[in-house]
Structure 1
Amino acid sequence: MDLLTNTVRPYAWGSTTAIPELLGTEPTGEPQAEMWMGAHPGAPSRIDRAGGATSLSEAIAADPEGELGPAVVEAFGPRLPFLFKVLAAASPLSLQVHPDLVQAREGFADEEERGVPADAPHRNYKDANHKPELICALTPFTGLCGFRRPAETADLLEALDVGGLKPYADILRARPEDEALGEVLTAVLSADREAMAETVDGAAAAARRLAAGEGPYAREYAAYAGIAGHYPGDPGVLAAMLLNVVRLEPGDALYLGAGVPHAYLGGLGVELMANSDNVLRCGLTPKHVDVPELLRVVRFEPTEPEVLRPRTTSGGEDVYAAPVDEFRLSRYVLAPGSEPHDLDDRTPQILLCTDGEITLREVTGGGGGGELVLARGRSAFVRAGERVAVSGSGTLFRATVAV
């Protein structure tokens, strides 16, 4: 077992207090947005073994099968296939979408062939992998996920009573659903920002007014008004109005597959994803928005977001089901004096304590082994084949591989 030292990313949308509170450290006054746990080359976790301090990525590269197990290496190659994060959003993240595996491979190969520098601001594909992800709320958490039914969005836009929105509402009513969503999103993202500013500001003012009422979309209007407060005049505000607003309570989760537009608006959660950094942005950002490539990747189909709640196994493990092999998220909620729980040791795992204090004990043939105590906010890497039992009082999240 290896205690992890993790990097916290200071993105501008991050909370100044949520991650420090989880870690029991003093806030710096700067935003602290994401704590990365894993072996992603952008910010690999550090471990301390007999040979000295090293990065988890270097340890895996030195002995892939010993760290990951033969099954994981065979399925995904000599790398940890997931990235685990704590995410703390104080303001909205960019509206974005992720490619599927074929799109990622094709897009990456194309940009490599064209010689687009890896750090170029207009580069879309950082790697050849897809990026399905799962967010589980630790506090009340709000986000956008997937397109709403076009006819319902037309109702929402018409109630704002802003002239510049009428053509979009008409399209949403007149065209087949996939065509309508594609046409409106294309029009919004291709429009001149200055020309759109009056419509966006008018829609934001109307949303603030309607959010105070008791209409059918009051919650949605409140979310859109909040977004507009952070991104005044941004056409991405109108793109956001095409999407469902989702609120998660602590313990609820949301799975985000390829092609589904989404954005996190606020809250603290744990996020588990395939080990990729491929993001195509749709707005609410000063970063590059490649509209043609975005339209190739987005799935223009209305969806009803499914809030995931865990299924508890006979062993006391709360499992969040997701249709991917690269990762598996689960949780143990342990009461004082409860019996230890033995963890499956076939694949590598990262364990994170989010509440209380959890003890990890190596299980050996003779019964006794090493011990590691995780306080709130601390995490550990457990190699494949290393049998561990967990006990204590608190909440432990477990990230592992589904193969």
Structure 2
Amino acid sequence: MHELVGALRSYAWGSRTALAQLCGRPVPSAHPEAELWFGAHPADPARVRIDGHDRSLLEVLEADPERELGRVAGEFDGRLPFLLKILAAEEPLSLQAHPSIEQARVGYARENHAGVALDSPMRNYRDENHKPELVVALERFEALAGFREPVRTVRLLRALDIPELMPYADLLAAQPDSAGLRTLFTTWIALPQSALAKLLPKVLDGCVRYLSGRDAENNGTRKEFIAEVRTSLELAEAYPGDAGVLAALLLNRITLEPGEGLFLAAGNLHAYLSGVGVEIMANSDNVLRGGLTPKHVDVPELLRVLDFEPLDLPVVEVHDDGNGVYRYRAPAPEFTLRRVELAAGGDPVKLPRTGPEIVLCTLGTVRLFQRGEHLDVPCGYAAWISAADGEIRAQAVHGAGQLFCAAVGED
């Protein structure tokens, strides 16, 4: 086992405080800090600290895949199949979806054939992999995820009481299924800028009226769509004139409390809005954007990959494995994720082992024990555990501790 130092990624939507505080660095940071990558993605691999020297995890795996990855080397072509991150969103991320593995392979080959450079901002497919992902909240985490049941969306559109929205509400009411959602989403996302400039202000005025009025049908009690309407106003302020503000009205609005997780399969439209969380995904960087971003938006390609089936709130089941270990059930062969809660002054806890792992500390400092040796992992840092390493035990050093253990998916 060796200390693993994450690769820090700075994006405009990141936070100047969250990751710095988590890692014990001065606040505020010089730039918005959005993600810490713990993995072997070629774009930004983490660094393994061996005998006082840092080596790329990618290089370590390539040098001895059999020792480091074990059976995984044969199953995933000598690659670590998952990427673990800490994500800190101060502002909303783009409205986006990820392709299936078949779509990724076709898209990657097509863009290669067209001569689009891998580092081009116009590139949609940077690899041939899909990107199922799971995010677990470290603090309250807000998100839009998956298309809402059409009947509820019709109710929302009519509750806004905007004459200009009524034809769209009627359209979806006449076909309250995935086909109706596809038609409405496609209509909105492809609106000419002149039409969007007329419709959006009307929608936002309706949102303001909705928040300021009472719900007469329910005797003035709390309205059903407060969070959805507030989110629309916040998105419009951050991205004025963006069709993604309309599209957001079609999505589930989700709040995760600490420890809760959200799983997104290929094709699920989503946007993380705010909060800090641990995220694990297949080792891919393929993103199709639909708005709420200054980056490249390819609407036709997005429409090819989107899944318009209404999605129940996709909060994942958490299984209590006992002894402070909690397993998140996510249907992805590339990864599995466990959370380990370590009590202050408690005895060392045996960590589940299924092969190569990344063990990330998100609270306190945790001491890992293996074969008479130990490694202290402070908050915001991780450890690389190779397939050849034996039993690992973990103990909180000062106060309580928390770990997230990332491994390859289980059968």
Q: Given the two structures, how large is their TM-score scaled by the length of structure 1?
A: 0.94
Q: What is the Cα deviation at residue 286 of structure 1?
A: 1.9
- 2:394 aligned with 1:347, yes or no? no
Alpha-carbon separation, structure 1, partners of 2:211 and 2:406: 38
Structural mapping, 1:321-360, within 5 Å: 321-360=329-368
Which one is further off, 47-56 or 384-393?
47-56
Alignment RMSD, CA only? 1.6
Instruction: Say which SS state the counterpart of residue 313 (structure 1) adopts.
Output: strand
* Inter-CA distance 163–287: structure 2 relative to 1 (3 Å threshold): farther
Q: What is the Cα deviation at residue 287 of structure 1?
A: 1.9
Instruction: Say which SS state the counterpart of residue 171 (structure 1) adopts.
Output: helix
- 2:219 aligned with 1:215, yes or no? no
- 2:406 aligned with 1:399, yes or no? yes
Structural mapping, 1:215-234, within 5 Å: 215-234=223-242
Alpha-carbon separation, structure 2, partners of 1:260 and 1:241: 15
2:305 counterpart residue number: 297
Structure 1: gaps (5+ residues): none
Instruction: Say which SS state the counterpart of residue 305 (structure 1) adopts.
Output: coil
Q: Quick check: 1:345–1:385 contact (8 Å CA) kept in 2?
A: no
Note the alpha carbon deviations across 1:49-82, whole angstroms, 9 max, x for none. Answer: 249321111111111111111x211211111111
2:217 counterpart residue number: none
Alpha-carbon separation, structure 1, partners of 2:261 and 2:350: 24
Structure 2: gaps (5+ residues): 215-221
2:285 counterpart residue number: 277
The list of structure 1 runs, each at least 4 consecutive aligned residues, that deviate by more than 6 angstroms after superposition, is none
- 2:244 aligned with 1:236, yes or no? yes
Alpha-carbon separation, structure 1, partners of 2:137 and 2:315: 11
- 2:156 aligned with 1:164, yes or no? no
Q: Quick check: 2:354–2:407 contact (8 Å CA) kept in 1?
A: no
Alpha-carbon separation, structure 2, partners of 1:48 and 1:29: 25
Which one is further off, 312-321 or 127-136?
312-321
Structural mapping, 1:133-282, within 5 Å: 133-212=133-212, 214-282=222-290
2:376 counterpart residue number: 373
Note the alpha carbon deviations across 1:185-244, whole angstroms, 9 max, x for none. Answer: 111111122430232122123223423552111121112221112111211100111001
Q: What is the Cα deviation at residue 171 of structure 1?
A: 1.1
Pick aligned residue for 2:386 from 372, 383, 390? 383
Letter matched to residue 372 of structure 1:
L
Letter matched to residue 287 of structure 2:
V
Q: What is the Cα deviation at residue 309 of structure 1?
A: 4.6
2:54 counterpart residue number: 53
Alpha-carbon separation, structure 2, partners of 1:43 and 1:204: 40
1:14 counterpart residue number: 14
Note the alpha carbon deviations across 1:231-258, whole angstroms, 9 max, x for none. Answer: 1121110011100100000010000001
Q: Give the total of aligned pairs.
A: 397
Alpha-carbon separation, structure 2, partners of 1:37 and 1:201: 42
Letter matched to residue 276 of structure 2:
L
Alpha-carbon separation, structure 2, partners of 1:211 and 1:82: 42
Alpha-carbon separation, structure 2, partners of 1:385 and 1:206: 61
Q: Quick check: 1:211–1:219 contact (8 Å CA) kept in 2?
A: no
Identity of paired residues, percent?
A: 47
Which one is further off, 236-245 or 97-106?
97-106
Note the alpha carbon deviations across 1:128-184, whole angstroms, 9 max, x for none. Answer: 000000000011111001111222212211222333322221211112512211111
Alpha-carbon separation, structure 1, partners of 2:348 and 2:259: 22
Letter matched to residue 91 of structure 2:
S
Pick aligned residue for 1:320 from 321, 325, 328? 328
1:5 counterpart residue number: 5
